[in-house]
């Protein structure tokens, strides 16, 4: 689709103009994949662009939907509730977190949201004043910048540590200012698949406490956790509220139960957070005034039952994909780190221009996302939340691409 030049746009706001002109590369690649599939056949196009789970939702989801519709009263399951969500759903989530992570949450700490994106917008609207700074670590999910700018904040990006993709904490400490209001972390990470270590989180928390004392401010650590349950080889994903009191957790069931289209998640606002009750009240109001009102009612009821049934996505399917893709690309001469979680492989491009490399890959019907879209040029992201058969079919294309760049002897 062709858009008007920015100066020709009169109906669209100045804040929206640049978003229209620079629409998400990931979404553009996804649309390109559909175009190519119509030409070459879907089986001959290898779309690794979008983090859209291909593993079906657990059977417990369907069972819980049917049980809810059969056993609960219609006006209740389809009606309004508190803007923060059903009390019994929130209590079930709190108890589940306490059981798994040794926390002490209660329903008053849990705010149901329309997915993780909504949760991030809610907490940012709650705490940000114009010109406040929000920090994050490259590579990062590109929408963070848009969410921060929604509330007239400024995103401050810490450059990537490309050795192991743990956060660059030395630069982080230097960039904190008196205007720093929040820090967003994402672990397991999109796009690297890295899990932030205990040592990383301990030092990160120490820096935040030191800088808060230095500037006389309160800095909120926002932990964005849609991939928490996707961790391989027995890897432990530390629970961030244990490291730093002023932490808010943003969670989504999009990946953990393969429900991205249902838009369901929650915020954890712990009692330990400064002015916790006031923040929770403000966040509940923010949920309403940004237009969400409340999280979808039916799927809230379903989530409660799924937790009680111990529902979990088939992690083995993603692990099988991970192993095939990582081992094959390493054999072809590509440089990458083994993902510990999520469902992405972050590969170093064999040339400095990652966009040019993606364009060359597209000639082989390989759709990859340039690392520059995540503020980490020189790399590409490959989403392996696709069928195992697609990965198998794509191997000759990856091998041919490697040979073109002289990676194979």
Q: Supply the range of the domain harboring residue 21.
A: 6-57+314-404
Average pLDDT of span 134-146: 96
pLDDT category at 58 given cuts 50, 70, 90 is: very high
pLDDT category at 77 given cuts 50, 70, 90 is: very high
Q: Are 303 and 57 in contact (CB under 8 A)?
A: no
Partners of 221 in beta bridges:
183, 247
pLDDT (tens digit per residue) in 87-107: 999 999 999 999 999 999 999
Tell me: do 170 and 297 sit in the same domain: yes
Tell me: do 258 and 303 sit in the same domain: yes
Q: Are 381 and 29 in contact (CB under 8 A)?
A: no
State the helix-helix crossing angle for 388-404 and 354-362, rounded to 10 degrees: 120
So what's the pLDDT on residue 44? 87
Q: Are 154 and 133 in contact (CB under 8 A)?
A: yes
pLDDT category at 283 given cuts 50, 70, 90 is: very high
Taking phi over 0 as left and psi of -120 to 50 as alpha, with beta for the rest, 272 belongs to alpha
pLDDT (tens digit per residue) in 104-132: 999 999 999 999 999 999 999 999 999 99
**Residue 387 CB partners (closer than 8 Å, separation 6+):** 54
pLDDT at 323 over 90: yes
Tell me: do 218 and 319 sit in the same domain: no
Q: For all residues of the chain together, what is the average pLDDT?
A: 94
Average pLDDT of span 82-86: 97
Q: Determine how β-strand 220-224 pairs with β-strand 180-186.
A: parallel
Of 277, 309, 341, which residue constitutes the final position of a domain? 309
CA 170 to chain centroid, in Å, comes to 24
Tell me: do 94 and 183 sit in the same domain: yes
Domain assignment of residue 102, yes or no:
yes
pLDDT (tens digit per residue) in 297-316: 999 999 999 999 999 999 99
So what's the pLDDT on residue 32? 77
pLDDT category at 1 given cuts 50, 70, 90 is: very low
Q: Are 303 and 264 in contact (CB under 8 A)?
A: yes
Domain assignment of residue 132, yes or no:
yes
pLDDT (tens digit per residue) in 4-44: 555 566 788 888 887 877 666 666 776 777 788 788 887 88
So what's the pLDDT on residue 265? 98
Average pLDDT of span 48-62: 94
Average pLDDT of span 44-60: 93
Partners of 401 in beta bridges:
none
Tell me: do 333 and 356 sit in the same domain: yes
So what's the pLDDT on residue 23? 67
pTM of the model: 0.94
So what's the pLDDT on residue 4? 55
Of 309, 340, 371, which residue constitutes the final position of a domain? 309
**Residue 272 CB partners (closer than 8 Å, separation 6+):** 241, 245, 246
- The CATH number that applies at residue 379 is 3.90.1150.10
pLDDT at 227 over 80: yes
Of 309, 340, 366, which residue constitutes the final position of a domain? 309
Domain assignment of residue 321, yes or no:
yes
So what's the pLDDT on residue 70? 97
Query: What percent of the chain lies above the pLDDT cut of 90?
Result: 88
pLDDT at 50 over 90: no
pLDDT (tens digit per residue) in 179-217: 999 999 999 999 999 999 999 999 999 999 999 999 999
pLDDT (tens digit per residue) in 361-376: 999 999 999 999 999 9
Please state, in angstroms and rounded to a whole number, the distance separating the CA atoms of residues 74 and 72.
Answer: 6
Half-sphere exposure of 27 (CA within 13 A, CB side): 8
Domain count, the chain: 2
- The CATH number that applies at residue 166 is 3.40.640.10
């Amino acid at each position: 689709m062709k858009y008007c030049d920015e100066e020709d746009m009169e109906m669209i706001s100045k804040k929206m103009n640049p978003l229209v002109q620079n629409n998400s590369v990931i979404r553009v690649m996804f649309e390109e994949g559909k175009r190519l599939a119509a030409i070459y056949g879907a089986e001959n196009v290898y779309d690794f662009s979008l983090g859209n789970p291909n593993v079906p939702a657990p059977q417990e989801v369907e069972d819980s939907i049917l049980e809810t519709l059969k056993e609960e009263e219609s006006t209740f399951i389809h009606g309004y509730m508190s803007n923060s969500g059903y009390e019994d759903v929130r209590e079930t989530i709190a108890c589940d977190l306490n059981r798994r992570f040794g926390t002490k949450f209660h329903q008053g700490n849990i705010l149901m949201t329309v997915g993780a994106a909504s949760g991030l917008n809610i907490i940012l609207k709650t705490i940000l004043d114009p010109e406040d700074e929000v920090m994050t670590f490259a590579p990062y999910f590109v929408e963070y910048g848009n969410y921060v700018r929604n509330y007239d904040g400024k995103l401050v990006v810490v450059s990537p540590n490309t050795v192991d993709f743990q956060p660059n904490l030395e630069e982080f400490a230097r960039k904190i200012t008196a205007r720093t209001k929040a820090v967003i972390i994402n672990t397991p990470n999109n796009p690297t698949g890295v899990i932030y270590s205990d040592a990383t989180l301990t030092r990160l928390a120490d820096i935040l406490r030191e800088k808060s004392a230095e500037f006389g401010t309160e800095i909120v650590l926002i932990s964005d956790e849609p991939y928490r349950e996707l961790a391989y080889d027995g890897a432990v994903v530390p629970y961030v509220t244990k490291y730093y009191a002023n932490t808010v957790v943003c969670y989504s069931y999009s990946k953990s139960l393969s429900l991205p289209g249902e838009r369901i998640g929650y915020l954890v606002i712990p009692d330990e957070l400064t002015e916790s009750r006031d923040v929770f009240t403000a966040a509940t109001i923010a949920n309403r005034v940004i237009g969400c009102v409340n999280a979808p009612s039916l799927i809230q009821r379903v989530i409660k039952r799924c937790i009680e049934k111990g529902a979990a996505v088939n992690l083995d399917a993603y692990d099988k994909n991970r192993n095939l893709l990582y081992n094959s690309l390493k054999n072809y001469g590509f440089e990458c780190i083994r993902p510990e979680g999520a469902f992405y492989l972050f590969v170093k491009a064999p040339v400095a221009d990652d966009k040019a490399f993606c364009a060359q890959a597209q000639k082989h019907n390989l759709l990859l996302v340039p690392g520059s879209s995540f503020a980490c040029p020189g790399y590409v992201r490959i989403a392996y939340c696709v069928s195992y058969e697609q990965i198998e079919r794509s191997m000759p294309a990856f091998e041919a691409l490697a040979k073109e760049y002289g990676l194979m002897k």
